[in-house]
Structure formats: structure tokens, C-alpha cells
Amino acid sequence: MANAEHLAILRQGVAVWNAWREANPNVRPALSEANLSRANLIKAILNGAILNGAFLSRADLRETDLCRADLRGADLRGGGSE
């Protein structure tokens, strides 16, 4: 399950999320099974995030940093740019 605090921060937008990530570089975001379908994640810092089982279908992932992210079982259908 996703960490409710991490998910709430991400839902505030990429600018808020990226500022939080830069202030908390040692935190590994837990977003397992989060419903991020159709989310605007352009340029989001999601490196090292735990996204296993997350729903990312049709999310805009342009220039998103997913380096070392755990995407096992994530739904990425239609991801990328619209």
C-alpha cells in the first residue's frame, strides 16, 4: 500500500513533490498500488520510488526520473505523453 503522506504530497502537484524530494533525499517514496492514472507527472522526481502495482495508465511521464524505481507489476499502459 502507498504511504498516505507520500501520496498526499504527490497529489499537490509536481512542484510541491519535487521540493519535498529535494528536502528529503534519503526518503524512498512508497507509492505501491497508488492510483496515478492520468496523473500529470511531467518532470517528477520519482527516482528510487516504490511503485510496484501502481496504476500509471495514461499518466504523463515525460521527463520523469524513474531511475531505480520499483515498477514491478505497475500498469503503464498508455503512459508517456498524450
Instruction: Supply the pLDDT for residue 80.
Output: 59
Return per-residue pLDDT of the chain as tens, 82 residues: 999 999 999 999 999 999 999 999 999 999 999 999 999 999 999 999 999 999 999 999 999 999 999 999 999 988 555 4
Instruction: Supply the pLDDT for residue 81.
Output: 54
How many Å apart are CA 82 and CA 12, to the nearest integer?
A: 21
**71 lies in which domain range?**
1-82
CA distances from 77 to 3, 6, 59 (A): 23, 23, 9
Instruction: Supply the pLDDT for residue 78.
Output: 80
- Counting the structural domains of the chain, the total is 1
Instruction: Supply the pLDDT for residue 79.
Output: 59
Read off the pTM.
0.91
CATH classification of the domain holding 79: 2.160.20.80
